Amino acid sequence: MGVDLSRIRPVLQRHERGDKTALVHALQDLQATYRYLPEEGVREVCAHLGVPLSKAFAVATFYKAFSLEPRGERICRVCLGTTCHIRGAPLLVEELERLLEVRAGGTTKDLSFTLETVNCVGACAMAPVVLVDGKYHDGVVPTDLPGIVGR
């Protein structure tokens, strides 16, 4: 499935042609537009800034904030740090995989959700913790999940 390239033009317009120093900002802009870095978009950004494609992909793989795979409209993260793990987080992952019909680390076919596991998010006293679009849900049990993700 191709991406809508018309949305790249505004990204390019915000960064001066040939400004190699703008690479990270331009990629951030591209990711904000598409929620990931489509290859066609990365190629356009590189051509615009005069940066080799290999450099852009090196940057994109170095920074965890960038994704080269399509991401869901909503990001659901389950903490699998030690405390959350002990308090049942693996069961939450299993239940979310069932509800969302996607494996942890993946994105639903309709691009509505990306399901991720993360290490301690610094809220151990509230374990187990699930974050949806950055909002913390604490003391979560599997039966809470349909209400949290709306499925």
List interacting residues with ligand FES (CB under 6 A).
79, 81-84, 120-124, 127, 129
Q: In what order do the strands lie in the sheet with 74-79?
A: 113-118, 74-79, 130-132, 135-137
CB-closest chain residue to ligand FES: 81
| Residue 45 or 115 with smaller CB distance to ligand FES | 115
Cis preceding-peptide flag for 128 (omega within 30 of 0): yes
- Residue 103 CB, nearest approach to ligand FES (Å): 21
β-bridge partners, 132: 76, 135
- Residue 138 CB, nearest approach to ligand FES (Å): 9
117, 94 Cβ separation under 8 angstroms: no
- Residue 148 CB, nearest approach to ligand FES (Å): 16
Q: Which are the contacts of 26, defined by CB distance < 8 A and separation ≥ 6?
A: 11, 12, 14, 15, 45, 48, 49
| Residue 3 or 91 with smaller CB distance to ligand FES | 91
| Residue 97 or 138 with smaller CB distance to ligand FES | 138
- Residue 71 CB, nearest approach to ligand FES (Å): 22
130, 92 Cβ separation under 8 angstroms: yes
